[in-house]
Amino acid sequence: MNEKLWKLHFPAFIGSADKVIKQLMDSAVLVNLPARQQVFYPGKVCDHYLLMLSGSIKAQIIAEDGREILLYHVLAGDSCVLTTSCLLGDNNYPAEGYTETEVSAFAVPAHIFHRCLEQSTFFREFVFRNFSKRLADVIKRMESISTGTVDQKLAKLLLASGEKSLYKTHNELALELGTAREVVSRHLKRFESYGWLILSRGSIQNINFEALNKILDSGNRQY
């Protein structure tokens, strides 16, 4: 049953006196996936409920112009909102997911998921509470992508970590912003010319919080 892993990552399951939850934990299969492996794709049948133990999975869609648009990340302690949606609606996946790092997760067979959802109040509350939270995060992310200038969205992303250095490539930033890498590179080079940051391979250094906050405060690009 991998009790130590349940206790570490999902302690509420261990603490539940529900016999159905015990059956769920007994049926869960521990899966380990390498980095950069496809987990699901559009049209794939959803046959397991995933509970993340470690690592990161990114869910994304491909725009008509070929751009990758990040929907969300699934991290340790999370469940996947698309997987939950597909299981609840008996639908196939509408997007694709890839491991960003090595991933460990519990995979619960779909028929066990549905049985527990029907019979366990604890599990229903867990599933819908996590589904609601993750869906709200996705909506918030889509709103942030669709509003504001590229400068404002990029400034917000650079400020989000609270660190003076950010170790991400231009392509990774473009994926998070839902735009093209060339667009991100152009704006970052302009920021660098203003002395607001220093670009290095695979990282951005000496980020000037004060200057970037002014972009957000101004609501326009007249700085």
Asked if residue 223 belongs to a domain, the reply is no
Q: How far apart are the first and last CA of the chain?
A: 58
CATH number of residue 152's parent domain:
1.10.10.10
Of 117, 145, 173, the position where a domain reaches its end is 145
Residues 156, 138, single domain; the answer is no
pTM score over 0.75: no
H or E segment to which residue 104 belongs: strand 103-109
pLDDT at res. 15: 86
- pLDDT tens string 9-37: 999 999 888 889 999 999 999 999 999 99
The pLDDT value recorded for residue 180 is 81
In three-state secondary structure terms, 101 is coil
Region 145-155 average pLDDT:
78
In tens, the pLDDT along 33-66 reads 999 999 999 999 999 999 999 999 999 988 766 7
Domain that holds residue 14: 3-145
Domain count, the chain: 2
**Looking at the structure, do residues 168 and 83 belong to the same domain, yes or no?**
no
Task: Please give the pLDDT value at position 45.
Answer: 94
User: Does residue 162 register a pLDDT over 90?
Assistant: no
